[in-house]
Amino acid sequence: MRIRRHIPLLLLLLALSAVAPPRAAVAQSLEFPIKAQFLYRFVPFVEWPPGAMAAGGPLTLCILGRDPFGGLLDRAVANQRLEGRAFAIRRLMQVEAGSGCHVLYVSASAEQSPAAALQILRGAPVLTITDDAVAAAPHGMIHFVIREQRVRFIIDQGAAEAGGLTISSKLLALGAGA
């Protein structure tokens, strides 16, 4: 995947997330728009194993449970393409192996706990993303945290490798320490 052209965009997002608003309410109002941007901007920095994506098919970003983004993610990926692939958004109340997700944001669901969803996808080529706003543990391959009113993320490279995913060293360098 062409990564170099996406680095400035990711760096811009990091800069935006680093701006400390004067009040916590303002910071909270920016939290999910920033996370929505990160969700699809992580994709160029991840390499999936051969056969994990259908030829010419979309890059499918799934949200498990309550969608904290509203229409933000839909608007963020509208008309976006990566190497000729469009982005598709799916909202699920529970996830199963073979669900067709390439990226899964794990949110609160009455039908499936984050732990159960992550267990089902353990070892699968699905980039799992979790959030302290939803549950402190367990964590996905990428885990959002808020530090000093800034959106940061922690990457579990071992979990990604277990799923056959390779995360670019550039993205690994941008991740926050545990």
pLDDT digits (tens, 9 = 90+) for 143-155: 999 888 889 999 9
> pTM of this prediction?
0.83
Cα–Cα distances in angstroms (integers) from residue 38 to residues 22, 30, 70, 105, in the given order = 23, 12, 15, 11
Domains of the chain, by residue range, sit at 4-174
One of 3.30.310, 1.20.1070, 1.10.357, 3.40.50 is the CATH number of 4-174, namely 3.40.50
pLDDT of residue 67: 92
> Which residues are 128's β-sheet partners?
104
- Going by C-alpha positions, the residue among 47, 21, 24, 26 that lies closest to residue 141 is 47
Side-chain half-sphere CA neighbours of 164 within 13 A: 12
Side-chain half-sphere CA neighbours of 26 within 13 A: 7
pLDDT of residue 45: 95
Helix, strand, or coil here: 34?
helix
pLDDT tens for each residue of 43-63: 999 999 998 887 778 999 999
